[in-house]
Amino acid sequence: MKKGNGILIVIAIIGLIFGWLIVSSPQPNASTEQPKTTSGEIKPEWLYNDSAPFVGSNDAQLKIVVFSDYQCPYCKVFHDNMKSVISENQGNIKLIHRNLIVHPTATLLAQAVEAANLQGKFEQMDNAIFDKNPDPTEDSLVNLAKEIGLDETKFKNDLNSDQVKKRIDQDSQDASSLGLQGTPSVFLNGSTVDDPSQISTLVKSALNK
């Protein structure tokens, strides 16, 4: 065998080995935000919290719990879908909001929503943040608070208060107990919703039973 041909064969073998390593290596998940539950147990106290903000009717037939992150694009889609679902099924749905922080910069946004809830305006701030996607800064959120008619001084005091932070920490603890690893993580009457994008269909089915 000629020396040149031997070198080419060695290079080809190395190339094949390197290519096999690339193909066989684990690939990163394209979406770390899709809902995923690792816990097999769902205790009601992990889902429902009397201090958690909600939209809809308190004595509704269907109770939907969503663990959400304000900078998760999938949560934005779910939020928009739920606005339509609630509008179409007035009185039949209670949507309970829980926080599961995936993006660290979403923490202040969650605090702003919880602070707004202390003034009875959870829904307004929830909609404003998802619709307007404000910068996660105190100045930006204070301006948003003024736009929706909140008491500015109280909002500023509540924004970084222990009460608000404990509210979010409790959500985090409950999400951990449930084994949640992504957002939005959704539950319908205590059962896991595998595909949150199908919530409208699932609601219709549940109401027609």
CATH number for the domain harbouring residue 129? 3.40.30.10
Q: What pLDDT does 166 receive?
A: 98
- Is 5 inside any structural domain? no
The residues with which 188 forms a beta bridge, in sequence order, are 64, 191
Provide the pLDDT for residue 60: 95
Task: Tell me the C-alpha distance between 19 and 22, whole Å.
Answer: 5
Domain count, the chain: 1
pLDDT at 11: 44
Residue 167: the pLDDT is: 97
The answer to whether residue 11 sits within a structural domain is no
Residue 186 lies in a domain: yes
**Per the domain annotation, does 57 fall within a domain?**
yes
Report which of 58, 77, 40 is spatially closest to residue 66, judged by C-alpha positions.
77
| Inside any domain, residue 93 | yes
How many CB atoms sit inside 10 A of residue 39's CB?
Answer: 15
Query: Is 14 inside any structural domain?
Result: no
User: Structural domain of residue 149, as residue ranges?
Assistant: 44-207
Asked if the structure places residue 135 within a domain, the reply is yes
pLDDT at res. 6: 52
* pLDDT on residue 199: 97
**Each residue's pLDDT tens digit, 86-115:** 999 999 999 999 999 999 999 999 999 999
Query: Mean pLDDT of successive 10-residue segments in the chain (209 residues)?
Result: 48 43 34 49 94 94 98 97 96 97 96 98 98 96 98 98 98 97 96 97 94
75 domain-assigned: yes
